[in-house]
Amino acid sequence: MRVRFTKMHGAGNDFVVLDCRNGEALPDAAVIARMACRHTGIGFDQLLIIETPRSSDALAAYRILNQDGSSAQQCGNGARCVAHWLVLNGAVTATEFVLDSPAGRMPVQRTDTGYCVDMGPPSFNPIEIPLQTEAEAPSYPFEFHGKSWPFHAASMGNPHALFIVETVDSAPVADLGAALQASGKFPEGVNVGFAEILDRNRIRLRVFERGVGETLACGSGACAAAACLIRAGHTDRALTVQLPGGTLSIEWPEDFAGIRMTGPAVRVFEGEWIHD
């Protein structure tokens, strides 16, 4: 079986993009895991599947698969890469257009520095995240190695938890992230962010993603972190989010409005995956 693919990244969060608009068969979970391996495969954080649109005003739809073959509902860096892939392949020439994401309709705008995507409004409702708790609260306790680590929680179409730390350099990202993921507090899993507040308009962020592990960037994680910090009064409504792989600009103009994320999208190379 031969599969044509495009390798892309958004702020270091890397993807393999497959064009399945003509009904091409998808690789199974075992093949996806082989493709995702950085030593013996192509290497990627997530697989993006481009399909025909589901709504009348969209140019295309896409799905997101993790390295283990599981589905993800939202990925801001992936959305920008899908948009750029469509532009590079001549499917779109307009400055503004709409994509059908797994989480719903997503407006996209081309900018001088990349793409701006409207990720929709955040939700802090534990039922919608979902988060196992008795009632919605500003933060939730979590015991880890004999210490209380309070976290914020939000949904951006996928579940996120956020720890505020003194410095992301020494934060126990893998250990604490994995512990929270395994705690049962989030029935559908959770992406765990660690934010260091630099000032009211800048933060540093590391994210331990469900089904992936730590990535160089997480677009929905950056939006969720901004939403949690803005809601708690720690920052202003326009933020620069510095991730290990690059920088994203996040704006949440008002409560109940969509969060807008602007950042780069880059085509790295194209190739053909051949497997038995």
Please write the tens of the pLDDT for every residue from 151-193.
999 999 999 999 999 999 999 999 999 999 999 999 999 999 9
pLDDT in tens, 45-80: 999 999 999 999 999 999 999 999 999 888 999 999
| pLDDT band, very low/low/confident/very high, at 212 (cuts 50, 70, 90) | confident
Is domain 2-110+264-274 annotated with CATH 3.10.310.10?
A: yes
Q: What are the sequence ranges of the domains in the chain?
A: 2-110+264-274, 143-258
Nearest 10 degrees: Cα torsion 25, 30, 35, 36: 120
Catalytic: which of 75, 116, 223, 228? 75
Active-site annotation holds for 218: yes
Could you tell me what percent of the chain has a pLDDT over 70? 100
Q: Tell me what the mean pLDDT of segment 15-31 comes to.
A: 93
pLDDT of 272 reads 95
Which of 3.40.50.300, 3.40.462.20, 3.10.310.10, 2.40.50.1020 is the CATH number of 143-258? Answer: 3.10.310.10
- Global pTM reads 0.92
Active-site annotation holds for 228: no
Catalytic: which of 81, 218, 223, 228? 218
pLDDT in tens, 217-268: 999 999 999 999 999 999 999 999 999 999 999 999 999 999 999 999 999 9
Surface-to-core class of residue 49, CB atoms within 10 Å of its CB (0-12 exposed, 13-18 middle, 19+ buried): buried
| β pairing state of 238-243 and 202-209 | parallel
**CB 239 within 8 Å of CB 226:** yes
